[in-house]
Amino acid sequence: MLHIGCHLSCSNGYLAMGRQALTLGADTFQFFTRNPRGGSVKPFDAADAEALVSLMQEHHFAPIVAHAPYTLNACAADEGLRDFAKRTMREDLERLEYIPGVMLNFHPGSHVKQGAETGVRLIAQMLDEVITDDIHTPVLLETMAGKGSEVGRSFEELRAIMDSCRVGDRLGVCLDTCHVYDAGYDVVGRLEDVLGEFDRVIGFERLHAIHVNDSKNPMGSHKDRHEKIGEGSIGLEAMTRIITHPRLRHLPFELETPNELDGYAREIRLLRAAYDEALKGEEA
């Protein structure tokens, strides 16, 4: 069975997201740990988190993904901004301890003219400070489109972060289909080659989640504009090859397409149907 869900708003709490996912036909979902612009967060409600955990067990959810606010920049030039990123991530990780089955995904950061090498070093430094032994939530680096000075535009840059911190072997990766295509990896024409490269540079065992997005722009554009499934430059055929690939199909797939809830429900149905059709007879 395909494990698929979409990005949901956390404004009504944890259990509400779990229930909403079920009504959409999802068995996983993603949410921002707080307002995507960063900043303050609602007081933590442990009972609500526990209610979600029960619901997830009862309905056999796949792992879910918490997304750090994308305005956090672990490798900002300004020390105050770096410190803010660190405190926010630490607080999020402490809260997520209440939800087994969640992973924390984050955008590595933007080096803002300091150079990718400095960016990698600062990101690694922050991870070593926030991922202490009492933290059990897997932390995922997201593959980035390479917009501006984003770090993580290549598999090598993600590898460099892992190699630069003590907690490197505890880090995983979330692959975003729109981002990697935008970064210049041809997941449409050369999926096998791209996955082979991922395995050589990072290793498949590190891949824990997929963001499933079509792209408004052609390969290598470095623009990071998501499109609805089947309506962009990746297309439904290539997306079906991705979700059914033997090395990927067990992973949780999260939609971050420009949709309201009804659009998400439609895309979940569309991809479930495409998956079942492509694997007809193969899976017992």
Calpha distance 250→244 (Å, rounded)? 9
Q: Would you say 92 or 224 has its CB closer to Zn ion?
A: 224
Q: Which is nearer to Fe ion, 15 or 127 (CB)?
A: 127
Q: Facing residues of 8 across strands?
A: 31
Partner from Fe ion, Zn ion, none binding residue 224, C-beta < 5-8 Å depending on class: Zn ion
* Residue 120 Cβ vs Zn ion, minimum distance, rounded to whole Å: 20
224 binds Zn ion (CB under 5 A): yes
**Angle of the 116-130 helix axis to the 79-96 helix axis, nearest 10:** 40
Q: Do the beta carbons of residue 188 and residue 224 sit within 8 Å? A: no
Q: What is the DSSP annotation of the chain?
A: --EEEEEE--TT-HHHHHHHHHHTT-S--EEESS-TT----PPP-HHHHHHHHHHHHHTTPPPEEEE--TT--TT-SSHHHHHHHHHHHHHHHHHHTT-TTEEEEE--EE-TTS-HHHHHHHHHHHHHHH--TT--S-EEEEP----TTEE-SSHHHHHHHHHHSTTGGGEEEEEEHHHHHHTT--TTT-HHHHHHHHHHHT-GGGEEEEEE-EESS-TT-----EE-TTSSSSHHHHHHHHHH-TTTTTSEEEE--S--HHHHHHHHHHHHHHHHHHTTTT--
Q: Which is nearer to Zn ion, 31 or 61 (CB)?
A: 31
Q: Smallest gap, in angstroms, from Cβ of residue 137 to Fe ion?
A: 17
What is the smallest separation between the CB atom of 107 and Zn ion, expressed in angstroms? 9
Nearer to Zn ion, 18 or 213 (CB): 213
The piece of 116-124, 141-149, 164-172, 259-267 that touches Fe ion (CB under 5 A) is 141-149
Q: Which does 211 bind (CB under 5 to 8 A by kind): Zn ion, Fe ion, none?
A: Fe ion
CB 30 → Fe ion: shortest distance, Å?
A: 9
When asked if residue 142 is in the footprint of Zn ion (CB under 5 A), the reply is: no
Q: Which stretch binds Fe ion (CB under 5 A): 33-41, 55-63, 136-144, 190-198?
A: 136-144
Min CB(143)–Zn ion separation in Å: 10
Which residues in 175-234 contact Fe ion (CB under 5 A)?
A: 176, 211
Nearer to Fe ion, 65 or 93 (CB): 65
Q: How far is the CB of 224 from Zn ion (least distance, A)?
A: 4
How many chain residues touch Zn ion (CB under 5 A)? 1
Nearest approach, Cβ of residue 183 and Zn ion (Å): 11
Stretch that binds Zn ion, among 14-22, 91-99, 194-202, 216-224 (CB under 5 A): 216-224
Task: Tell me which residues touch Fe ion (CB under 5 A).
Answer: 142, 176, 211
